[in-house]
């Protein structure tokens, strides 16, 4: 049985909070909040997601194979979310789900990009022994 470090538990919870917040943002944008309110509150909400992504990137303590797995899955998620934003918004317009899915993907990108970049930089520095 492996022992989890405190940093990974904190990062995991922040990561989960960020994903749940991204889904809530998507639903609120698509169904509940009028467009004028979205324009007013979108900057602070996305700033919170960005800060959560930065904290997750700093706090997550991965090395070796775990680092490689995190980076590959993070890069795949960012790429698929970006392409998904474009394809979903065009294909699901008739049923009203395009904005919902596109907003969730956009919020996930805001969360994952800083975390993936920070883990990539930490991995590069650990490889070069700086």
Per-residue model confidence as pLDDT tens digits over 102-112: 788 888 888 88
Q: Quick one: what percent of the chain has pLDDT higher than 70?
A: 74
Is the Cβ–Cβ distance between 112 and 78 less than 8 Å? yes
pLDDT at 115 > cutoff 70: yes
- pTM (two decimals): 0.76
Looking up tokens 């997750």, which residue turns up? Answer: 56
**What mean pLDDT is predicted for residues 2-9?**
58
Axis crossing angle, helix 98-128 with helix 35-59, rounded to the nearest 10: 20
Which class for 3: exposed (0-12), middle (13-18), buried (19 or more C-beta within 10 A)?
exposed
Using one digit for the tens of pLDDT, what is the confidence trace for 72-96? 888 888 888 888 777 776 665 556 6
In the chain, where are the structural domains located? 6-128
């Amino acid at each position: 049985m492996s022992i989890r470090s405190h940093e990974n538990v904190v990062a995991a919870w922040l990561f989960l909070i960020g994903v749940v917040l991204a889904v809530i943002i998507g639903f609120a944008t698509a169904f509940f909040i009028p467009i004028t309110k979205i324009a007013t509150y979108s900057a602070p909400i996305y700033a919170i997601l960005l800060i959560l992504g930065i904290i997750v990137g700093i706090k997550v303590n991965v090395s070796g194979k775990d680092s490689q797995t995190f980076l590959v899955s993070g890069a795949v998620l960012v790429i698929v979310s970006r392409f998904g934003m474009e394809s979903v918004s065009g294909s699901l317009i008739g049923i009203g789900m395009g904005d919902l899915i596109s907003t969730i993907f956009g919020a996930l990108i805001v969360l994952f990009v800083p975390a993936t970049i920070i883990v990539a930089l930490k991995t590069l520095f650990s490889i070069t022994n700086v």
